[in-house]
Amino acid sequence: MSVKFAGIELKNQIVAASSPLTESLDRIRCCGLAGFGAVILKSAADYVRTGRGHGRKVVFCEGEDGFYADSSFEREILTLSEGLQLYREACRQEDILIIPSVGANSLDAEEWLPICRAFEEAGAPLLQLDFFYLGQIAQEDGFYGKLGGLLRTLKGELSCLVMPKLNPGFAPGKICALLKECGIRQVSLLDSMRETPVPSQGLQEGTTSYFGRRQFPETLRYLREAKRYGLEACAGGGVASREDVRQLLEEGAGVVQVASYVLSKGFASLGDLLDIEKESSGCAEIFRQSPWCGRKIGGEGGCEACGACRGLYCYVPAPVDTSHVELSEEILELSGLLAKNVHEVWAAGRIREGWAYGPVRDDRKKETPCLAPYELLSEAEKQYDRNTALETLKLIQKLGYRIEKE
Ligand SMILES: Cc1cc2nc3c(=O)[nH]c(=O)nc-3n(C[C@H](O)[C@H](O)[C@H](O)COP(=O)(O)O)c2cc1C
């Protein structure tokens, strides 16, 4: 299902947004294997890392899929030489479109031009201009006039295409009108919302953003403005289902970019968003990796490396110790009945969700060999249900409750 964006052919309409998914060669390889049609690299800027920045901290929201991420500029932004090296190596290694992303902290064309030129000389046909850090000065007098000056200079001086990335600090109508006026044809949207949870859970106000489905209505608002001005949009921000992808495409997005959904749910979840032809080799292995840092999910040592996916993937089960609890004969009999009922409840739920019996488990077809009468299950399967029942009964007893037959 190839598609053209900015006149360039992409394998499909789903693009990996600039994020931890695209900050290393290894992650980019996973993006390709998982089925993304293109990747936007982690942003790079021309600065010297001082070592005074702080790391990345991620707090997952309760009851929804979103998360808050707090990190400093130095943690999030690659240096120019890191970005260039990543771009060159990714282009050599991957056969999907690699779009560099560049940033600067001012509206000064002298700051932006050399970085853009460096990627242009490295062969990039399309560059994302990361305006995230300009969101803070968007309310200042004369901002849009100065931004227009910068965009006209970049457009005039560069032969590659530039695609500004908008963030919720910009007035959507104003910025889209400006892009059109400056002859810019592509736009990337929408960057995250600066927001700290209450209580803050140790996250810092100035450096924390919210990522998740709550952002989606904002994305739609910006997309509609972009379309009003005839811009070609690489649209995303809060995409969390196939329905969201469909809506963005129906509303005129050229391609859809995604980060937090896959960061929250793993590389395999890309299949939930679009039917894509995946290269089979290597998929099983990458589906077991954390999309944040590449560590094996549930692997030893946790995710100290990225400080992010610890809670999500390095989960170590901690059931209550019931090893000293002894159950009476009567209660042991009850555990057999409970075990069978656990299976009945599970099977009824699965059937309601559209699952059926199949000789091998197939999540896409919703088939499982376990949708069979309890008596026909293998001993190993029955043992799961017996354990659930036994452990529940032991915990009830350990906590001081008593079960009595009338
Ligand atoms: C930890 C993290 C780091 C990010 N870094 C960048 C970045 O360097 N440059 C950029 O343009 N966007 C960056 N983003 C923003 C994403 O590209 C995307 O716009 C945002 O996450 C909203 O889309 P989503 O809801 O699909 O995640 C980052 C996102 C996350 C979660």
Sequence-ordered alpha helix ranges (H) in 240-378: 242-250, 260-265, 270-273, 283-287, 310-313, 329-352
Cα–Cα distance measured from residue 324 to residue 347, given in angstroms and rounded to the nearest whole number = 32
Question: Is 214 inside any structural domain?
Answer: yes
DSSP readout, 223-236? HHHHHHTT-EEEEE
Whether 233 and 368 share a structural domain: no
Cα–Cα distance measured from residue 343 to residue 279, given in angstroms and rounded to the nearest whole number = 36
Cβ-contact 232, 252 below 8 angstroms: no
For the entire predicted model, the pTM comes to 0.78
What pLDDT is recorded for position 277?
54
Cβ-contact 151, 164 below 8 angstroms: yes
Q: Is 260 in the pocket of ligand 1 (CB under 6 A)?
A: yes
The CATH number of residue 181's host domain is: 3.20.20.70
What pLDDT is recorded for position 315?
47
Question: Is 257 inside any structural domain?
Answer: yes
Whether 214 and 360 share a structural domain: no
How many structural domains comprise the chain?
A: 2
Whether 337 and 254 share a structural domain: no
Q: Is 211 in the pocket of ligand 1 (CB under 6 A)?
A: yes
Cα–Cα distance measured from residue 188 to residue 166, given in angstroms and rounded to the nearest whole number = 6
194 beta partners: 209
Whether 260 and 347 share a structural domain: no
What pLDDT is recorded for position 138?
87
Whether 103 and 222 share a structural domain: yes
Cβ-contact 57, 71 below 8 angstroms: yes
What pLDDT is recorded for position 278?
53
Residue type, 379: E
Give 91's contacts (C-beta < 8 A, 6+ positions apart): 98, 122, 123
User: Which of 166, 168, 212 minimizes the C-alpha distance to 58?
Assistant: 212
Q: Is 69 in the pocket of ligand 1 (CB under 6 A)?
A: yes
CA–centroid distance, 392 to ligand 1, in Å, is: 42
| Nearest CA, atom 14, ligand 1 | 19
What is the span of the domain harbouring residue 263?
3-287
CA–centroid distance, 216 to ligand 1, in Å, is: 14
pLDDT tens track, the chain, 406 positions: 789 999 999 999 999 999 999 999 999 999 998 999 999 999 999 998 888 878 788 888 877 778 898 888 888 999 999 999 999 999 999 999 999 999 998 999 999 999 999 999 999 999 999 999 887 788 889 999 999 999 999 999 999 999 999 999 999 999 999 999 999 999 999 999 899 988 888 888 888 999 999 999 999 999 999 999 999 999 999 999 999 999 999 999 999 999 999 998 888 889 889 765 554 555 777 777 888 887 776 655 445 555 556 555 544 556 788 889 999 999 999 999 999 999 999 999 999 999 999 999 888 899 999 999 999 999 999 999 999 999 999 999 999 999 988 8
Residue ending a domain, among 236, 270, 287, is 287
Mutate to test the pocket of ligand 1, among 191, 193, 262, 265 (most ligand atoms within 8 A of CB): 191
What pLDDT is recorded for position 299?
54
What pLDDT is recorded for position 282?
59
| Nearest CA, atom 12, ligand 1 | 18
Cα–Cα distance measured from residue 100 to residue 43, given in angstroms and rounded to the nearest whole number = 7
| Nearest CA, atom 29, ligand 1 | 19
User: Which of 187, 179, 116 minimizes the C-alpha distance to 144?
Assistant: 179
Cβ-contact 211, 240 below 8 angstroms: no
Burial class (CB in 10 A: 0-12, 13-18, 19+), 321: exposed
Residue ending a domain, among 253, 287, 321, is 287
Residue ending a domain, among 287, 319, 346, is 287
The CATH number of residue 377's host domain is: 1.10.490.160
Whether 265 and 390 share a structural domain: no
Cα–Cα distance measured from residue 1 to residue 347, given in angstroms and rounded to the nearest whole number = 37
Question: Is 172 inside any structural domain?
Answer: yes
| Nearest CA, atom 22, ligand 1 | 237
Mutate to test the pocket of ligand 1, among 19, 105, 129, 261 (most ligand atoms within 8 A of CB): 19
What pLDDT is recorded for position 399?
93
Question: Is 20 inside any structural domain?
Answer: yes
Give 80's contacts (C-beta < 8 A, 6+ positions apart): 44, 45, 46, 47, 115, 118
Assigned token pair, 115: 């970085």
Cα–Cα distance measured from residue 96 to residue 110, given in angstroms and rounded to the nearest whole number = 31
Whether 234 and 366 share a structural domain: no
CA–centroid distance, 207 to ligand 1, in Å, is: 13
Whether 119 and 234 share a structural domain: yes
Whether 104 and 186 share a structural domain: yes
Whether 245 and 378 share a structural domain: no
| Nearest CA, atom 23, ligand 1 | 237
Question: Is 314 inside any structural domain?
Answer: no
Cα–Cα distance measured from residue 224 to residue 313, given in angstroms and rounded to the nearest whole number = 37
Question: Is 67 inside any structural domain?
Answer: yes
End-to-end, the C-alpha distance of the chain in Å comes to 64
Question: Is 93 inside any structural domain?
Answer: yes
Cβ-contact 225, 270 below 8 angstroms: no
User: Which of 77, 73, 67, 75 minimizes the C-alpha distance to 42?
Assistant: 77
